[in-house]
């Protein structure tokens, strides 16, 4: 194929344009109002995946990406070890503070905060809620992103 020829492939909502035999350019579709409105996120651990050191690096990048996203509002649910992100001693606390600034609300499991003895800073955006109540909330949320 010469570099002047182009072919398009549809790949999960993004368009891939082949510019030559060796390069592909991904062209993202323009975001709709729905895609830039409220994003709901459930974080269950203070690291991403099963490796805590590398997982913290990955989660830090994810938290930064959410903080800088085009969503008009972010609502984060923290359960289990995810509540540890609110503790000042957590290595990702700074990243979490930036996300709190962007967020409309952070809803944290009161049982997990108590169990892990998390010291939560005073912030009107952080709300403690029972795990049962959180489970009821997330059952009905559209487009919930869950971090495992």
Q: What is the mean pLDDT of each run of 10 residues along the chain (148 residues)?
A: 44 48 48 65 87 87 92 93 94 94 95 96 93 94 85
Other Cβ atoms closer than 10 A to 40: 19
Nearest to 107 by CA among 36, 41, 37, 58: 41
Domains of the chain: 1-30 (no CATH), 34-147 (3.40.1260.10)
In 3-state terms the chain splits into helix, strand, coil percentages (rounded to 5) of 35, 30, 40
pTM metric for this prediction:
0.74
Closest by CA position to 114, among listed 77, 147, 83: 83
CA distances from 64 to 6, 22, 24, 57, 69 (A): 35, 32, 27, 11, 8
Q: What is the pLDDT of residues 13-55, one digit of tens each?
A: 455 454 445 444 455 444 454 455 789 999 999 988 767 788 8
């Amino acid at each position: 194929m010469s570099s002047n020829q182009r072919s398009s492939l549809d790949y999960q909502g993004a368009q891939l344009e082949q510019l030559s035999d060796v390069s592909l350019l991904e062209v993202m579709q323009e975001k709709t109002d729905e895609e830039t409105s409220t994003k709901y996120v459930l974080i269950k651990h203070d690291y991403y995946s099963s490796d805590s050191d590398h997982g913290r690096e990955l989660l830090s990048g994810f938290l930064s990406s959410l903080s800088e996203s085009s969503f008009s509002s972010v609502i984060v649910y923290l359960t289990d070890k995810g509540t540890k992100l609110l503790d000042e001693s957590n290595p990702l606390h700074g990243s979490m503070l930036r996300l709190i600034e962007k967020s409309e609300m952070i809803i944290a499991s009161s049982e997990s905060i108590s169990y892990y003895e998390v010291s939560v800073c005073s912030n009107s955006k952080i709300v403690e809620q029972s795990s049962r109540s959180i489970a009821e909330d997330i059952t009905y949320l559209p487009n919930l992103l869950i971090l495992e």
